[in-house]
């Protein structure tokens, strides 16, 4: 099997549907929530630029992997760079910056080697990812719980309003933000749910959350995104608070 096909899977949506809940339930919910928002912003930026600029991909006869949509910027590269750069800025260890660089470089290179992106697309995705990763790390908004909730709702509906430009992606990205965001704020800011200290129980919560979120990605119905992302966050938080 082509090794680049395996590497490029690390930049797929399903990979981050595993990574983010793991950080959220196993490490720190505030950390996970900020990372989640950064990845959504990265995805939204990529999809919007693709549909505004409409720059083509390489010719189809060069493709060694399935692809769709326009070429610039590379979504795999942008989202992966956002993820790894944000972690690197948070961890702030030389060795982890090196690890992050390796993953980013490999995923970006895989898109070129598989023939689905030009170098310009990967460079553009890298720049977007670094910028959003740094912003997510740098900006801290100290809002009360009501303003947080209002901000999530308004932002979600603003993304829904982009439907004429980006199509069903508006419901996907906006739905994830609305469902997960409302559940997070209700759990942490309004109800003060606590995660259990037992790592085995936390891992169980992670498994519950990831299962529901994966179901939401499979359904691919506009209404499924906010409902299942809400449940994927709120239900594990509730169970953890009751059992912890």
Boundaries of every domain in the chain: 1-140, 143-244
Q: How confident is the model at residue 223 (pLDDT cuts 50, 70, 90)?
A: confident
- Calpha distance 121→150 (Å, rounded): 35
| Cα-based torsion angle of the residue sequence 23, 209, 181, 47 in order, rounded to the nearest 10 degrees | 80
- Calpha distance 124→119 (Å, rounded): 9
- Calpha distance 61→70 (Å, rounded): 16
Per-residue model confidence as pLDDT tens digits over 102-123:
999 999 999 999 999 999 999 9
Q: Which residues contact 220 (CB under 8 A, 6 or more apart)?
A: none
Q: Are 24 and 36 in contact (CB under 8 A)?
A: yes
Q: Which residues contact 193 (CB under 8 A, 6 or more apart)?
A: 187, 237, 238, 240, 241
- Calpha distance 166→19 (Å, rounded): 25
Cα distances (Å, whole numbers) of residue 139 to 20, 120, 136, 142, 199? 19, 28, 6, 10, 30
pLDDT of residue 177: 96
pLDDT of residue 79: 95
pLDDT of residue 160: 96
pLDDT of residue 219: 62
For residue 48, which of 173, 144, 137 has the smallest C-alpha distance? 173
For residue 12, which of 106, 80, 114 has the smallest C-alpha distance? 80
Per-residue model confidence as pLDDT tens digits over 152-172:
999 999 999 999 999 999 999
Q: Are 162 and 48 in contact (CB under 8 A)?
A: yes
Q: What angle do CA 220, 37, 228 make, to 5 degrees?
A: 35
């Amino acid at each position: 099997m082509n090794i680049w096909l395996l590497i490029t899977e690390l930049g797929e949506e399903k990979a981050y549907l595993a990574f983010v809940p793991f950080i959220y339930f196993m490490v720190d919910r505030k950390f996970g929530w900020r990372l989640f928002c950064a990845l959504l912003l990265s995805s939204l930026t990529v999809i919007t630029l693709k549909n505004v600029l409409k720059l083509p991909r390489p010719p189809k006869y060069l493709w060694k992997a399935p692809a769709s949509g326009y070429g610039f910027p590379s979504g795999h590269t942008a989202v992966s760079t956002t993820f790894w750069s944000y972690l690197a800025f948070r961890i702030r260890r030389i060795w982890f910056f090196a690890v992050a660089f390796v993953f980013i470089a490999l995923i970006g290179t895989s898109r070129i080697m598989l023939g689905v992106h030009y170098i310009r697309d990967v460079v553009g995705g890298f720049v977007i990812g670094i910028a959003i990763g740094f912003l997510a790390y740098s900006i801290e908004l100290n809002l009360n719980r009501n303003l947080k909730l209002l901000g999530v709702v308004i932002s979600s509906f603003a993304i829904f309003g982009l439907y004429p430009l980006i199509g069903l992606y508006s419901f996907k990205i906006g739905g994830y933000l609305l469902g997960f965001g409302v559940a997070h704020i209700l759990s942490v800011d309004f109800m003060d749910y606590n995660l259990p200290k037992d790592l085995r129980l936390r891992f169980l919560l992670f498994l519950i959350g990831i299962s529901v979120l994966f179901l939401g990605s499979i359904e691919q119905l506009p209404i499924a995104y906010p409902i299942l992302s809400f449940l994927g966050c709120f239900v594990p938080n509730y169970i953890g608070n009751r059992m912890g």
